[in-house]
Structures are given as C-alpha cells and as structure tokens.
Amino acid sequence: MATYKEIFGRQVKFLASDPPAAAGSGEIWYNSVSNTFKTSLVVSAWSSGGAMNQVRRSPAGCGTQTAGLVFGGFSGSTALNNTETYNGTAWTASPGTLTTARGKLASASAGVQTAALAFGGSTAEPSNPGITNVSEEFNGSAWTAGGALTTPPVGRYSLSGAGTQTAGLGFGGYITGTSVNNSEEYNGTSWTEGDNLGTAKSAMASFGTQTAAVAALGTDDSTVQNATEEYDGSSWTTGNNVTYTSQNAGGAGIQTNGLVFGGNTNLTTTAGYDGTTWTAKPAMGTGRDYLSGAGIAAAALAFGGNAPGDAGVDTTEEFTGTDTIKTITTS
C-alpha cells in the first residue's frame, strides 16, 4: 500500500517502485528503492501533417491518425464526391467516389478507413435547395447506397454524427435554414428515430459511439453555443459547457476522452473532455472553421476547412497528447 506525505505543499506518493503506466497527470511519486522522485506530465501539441490532394471545406471523415479517411465537402461552391485516405504521413486519392457529391454532410465518426458511413448534407451552395437524405457506405474501395435518413424525410445539412457503419448516430442539422433536434440511429441497413436533442442545433462538433456520444458547440439559429449534450443510446442529457463558444468546429475521441477544435471564425482553440469537464488544450497551428476531425483524443486529426475564405484549404494537423513519466529530482 502506498504512503502519502506532504512535501512543500504537494502530496507525494511513496512507493517501492516506479509510478504505474496509467498515472494521473501532475501526480508525484517517490521510489524508496531507487531514491528517485518522478512526476507524470501530459505532453500535448498540434503538428503539421500531410496536405490533402483536394482543398475542401465542410467535408466529413473518420478513422485514425495513421489510417484516416476524408470525403465530400465543397471547393468554392462546387460540391465534391472524391475520397482520400491518410497513412499518417500523406493523403492518397481513393478510387471510391460518393454517388452524390455534397458538403456539410456527416459521418459515423467512430468508423474506420475500410468501413465508413456518410449521410445527409447539401449538394449545392447556398445549401437550402440542395438538401439530401442520402446515406452511403464505404468498404475501403467503393461507396454504395445505404438507407436514407427518415426524420425529417427531406434530409438535412450541417448535421453531426457518431458511431460506426453498422451502429451509427445522426443528430441535429439544418432544414431550409432552421435547426432541428432530430436524432436517428443506423443499424447498417436503415435509420430509426431516436431521442431528440434537448435543444435544436446545427453545426456541432461530435464524437463517440451510438451508445456514448457527445454533441458540443454549434448554433440554435440565434446564439452560437458552448453547450454539451451526451447520448447514452436512449436519451440526451446536458453536460458541462465547453471552455469556448463556437460552431463549425471539428471533433475526435470518445465520450470520456474527446477533443473539439477550431470553429468560427477561423479559431485555433482546442478543448479536451474527460466525460465531465472541459479543459483548454494547445491551440492548432492554423485557425479554421468548417473543418473535420478523426481519431482519438491522444492521436487526433484535423483536416480541411476555411482559413479564411470560402475556397477551402488542404491543411492537415495531428494532435498528440500523452502522459509521460519525468524524473524531477534524484539524490
């Protein structure tokens, strides 16, 4: 059993070994065998990744930092149908193209490079005339039709997503300029209505699974938000507010360890979520909005967006956030 002592106002854990791998950040240990003090520090930062082959704003994506996927979006006012894959260094054009070119679409954010789900969006800018309820599934080489969104049947754009290709979740978004609170679940074949968001919102950042999702930031049409809602597979509940207010930001991670980053207008801001509390994280190198994200909180991707302007960018950044054990004093 560990013994705690206070030294210079800090609680120090006395052990006969080095600290565990899952050490909490900022904790201090004294190894009574090696006579060494050590502490666990979170080392996190954004760094530049490989540029996409296509500039794009309002795309969607999924996967991991070393096996990412991006699809759709807008280049200027042109809706895109092309897909690119990321290997941790460079993006490669995929032979698979969406059957419906569109931007402001959503993805099953926990999907993988070889099993992705795209749904909703707009086929035109301005978006209202081009609203779609189309869903498509990607198998690593080609896109095929999936079940159409049903609530509302006309579809929506600037919606958000979570989950996987066979257990997806879609929520919020715009219909002819009005935000909605609709939520739907996908089983790999069809969509069924789920519990409504507490507040009708669009342009939210999102991450997580069908049974443990997070919706953050966004707009309720009159006010840009810093609000958080969590989904447990049956209902949405209110969480703590994000450390900043924004819309059209990116997201990555799981419900108990997630990130949101960027947003209007061309923000570099990043915040991390532990399932209860949001904390500030290191800023991105390039401020942007209308971007997308993928990966986990400790290894996230941010790609695309505006920085500034409406043409879109090809910029990719990688976030690394890890606990490392540091020796602080020896004797």
pLDDT in tens, 143-196: 999 999 999 888 999 999 999 999 999 999 999 879 999 999 999 999 999 999
> 3 or 109: which carries more pLDDT confidence?
109
| Three-class SS state of 283 | coil
pLDDT in tens, 112-128: 999 999 999 999 987 77
**Contact assessment for residue 194 and residue 181, using Cβ atoms and an 8 Å cutoff:** no
Model pLDDT, residue 5? 47
Q: Residue range 8-19: average pLDDT?
A: 55
**Half-sphere exposure in the Cβ direction for 271 (13 Å, CA):** 25
Strand partners, 43: 322
- Give the chain's mean pLDDT: 90
Q: Residue range 202-220: average pLDDT?
A: 98
Band (pLDDT 50/70/90 cuts) for residue 21 is very low
Look up residue 222 and give its DSSP letter: S
Model pLDDT, residue 130? 92
Model pLDDT, residue 327? 52
Model pLDDT, residue 309? 77
In this structure, what are the phi and psi dihedrals at residue 24, rounded to the nearest 5 degrees? -80, 145
pLDDT in tens, 244-260: 999 999 999 999 999 99
> Which pTM was predicted?
0.86
Model pLDDT, residue 10? 47
pLDDT in tens, 70-115: 999 999 999 999 999 999 999 999 999 999 999 999 999 999 999 9
Band (pLDDT 50/70/90 cuts) for residue 12 is low
* 293 contact partners, CB below 8 Å, separation of at least 6: 61, 109, 205, 207, 250, 251, 252, 259, 261, 300, 301, 302, 303
Model pLDDT, residue 1? 43
Closest by CA to 240, choosing from 269, 273, 209, 267, is 273
Q: Where in the chain is the domain with CATH 2.120.10.80?
A: 52-314
Band (pLDDT 50/70/90 cuts) for residue 43 is confident
Model pLDDT, residue 38? 65
Band (pLDDT 50/70/90 cuts) for residue 331 is very low
SS (HEC) of 12-66 = EEEECCCCCCCCCCCCEEEECCCCEEEEEEEEEEEEECCCCCCCEECCEEEECCC
Q: Residue range 317-327: average pLDDT?
A: 72
- Which tokens is 103 given? 């931007």
Model pLDDT, residue 177? 79
- Looking at the domain that runs over 52-314, which CATH code has it been given? 2.120.10.80
Model pLDDT, residue 129? 77
Give yes or no for a cis peptide into 150 (omega within 30° of 0). no
Q: Is the pLDDT of residue 243 over 60?
A: yes
Question: How far is Cα 284 from Cα 23, in angstroms, rounded to an integer?
Answer: 26
